[in-house]
Amino acid sequence: MACNRANYLERTINSVFKYQGSVASKYPLFVSQDGSNPQVKSKALSYDKLTYMQHLDFEPVHADNPGELTAYYKIARHYKWALDNLFYKHNFSRVIILEDDMEIAPDFFDYFEAAADLLDKDKSIMAVSSWNDNGQKQFVHDPYVLYRSDFFPGLGWMLTRTTWDELSPKWPKAYWDDWLRLKENHKGRQFIRPEVCRTYNFGEHGSSLGQFFQQYLAPIKLNDVPVDWKSRDLSYLIKDNYEKYFAEIVKKATPVHGENVVLKAHDIEGDVRIEYKDQSHFEIIARQFGIFNEWKDGIPRTAYKGVVVFRYQTPRRIFLVGPDSLRQLGIKDP
């Protein structure tokens, strides 16, 4: 997905080509440009190994609220147009979406190929993402681990045609990613995400005006470990298996209560779990550790059943556990 950043687009395409050569027949590459920026168009057309699409939309944007950035409305229109094209005109059964400010990991395509099996088998998975919002170098350790999440991560993600059949007719006018995070749209389905990101977002200059870039995006760890995804057993991610698997690791973590939880967690060997009472309490603890403290529609970023997990002075895991999480996971608190 591209608009007006030719140098960014070039960096993204070169990153994809680096690993796509051997799988190009399975993963043909499309560039969809929104608008008529001539540098972007000529850059995309300078590659003969991709298909170029151009979205020209001259309809004026009427923002719902005064002062809103019209870019978010244009982006949502472009997404709908591009995905309708790929699923209905080109007839693909799955599409992986990247934006023009991303580099991919060496195992990016193998990861999505392995995860496609999960998407087919388990209808409670809505999409697969290559992104972890808390994927900064200091919070990750294991390139082999994947998680389920109730929070749509975006930023390099795959969906199926049947999911698009459902979303396309009601696609929003703007803020499509936050719209996907609403319970009325994901309907309790979940998303697969890695511990270590398979995409790196270098987009300091764009529609979101560099928001979060230095704190959250620049320090992201892009996976550099070759993982043979075909030989890995991912059945633990199937819904019923995962509930048991995740409950087990949370249960084994040492509970920490009271003040100075960061200090207390520091002194414990092995995994730690810390309960938060509500959103504002979560935000206080998240800020102390330095992870994302944002919520959407009652769900913290990366959470599964209210539990946010990250590494702390690796390889120890910290589980921030919501007021109802243990009950949902079937864990009796001692």
Residues annotated catalytic, as ranges = 177
> What is the C-alpha separation between 209 and 15, in angstroms, rounded?
23
Distances (CA, A) of 299 to 75, 182, 221, 262, 306: 24, 9, 24, 22, 7
Question: In terms of DSSP bridges, do strands 199-201 and 146-149 run parallel, antiparallel, or are they unpaired?
Answer: unpaired
* Residue in 83, 233, 106, 235 with CA at minimum distance from that of residue 169: 83
Joined together, the tokens standing for residue 75 give 């982006």
| Backbone region of residue 8 per phi and psi (left: phi > 0; alpha: psi in -120 to 50; beta: other values) | alpha
* Residue in 229, 234, 228 with CA at minimum distance from that of residue 148: 234
Number of residues written out for the chain? 334
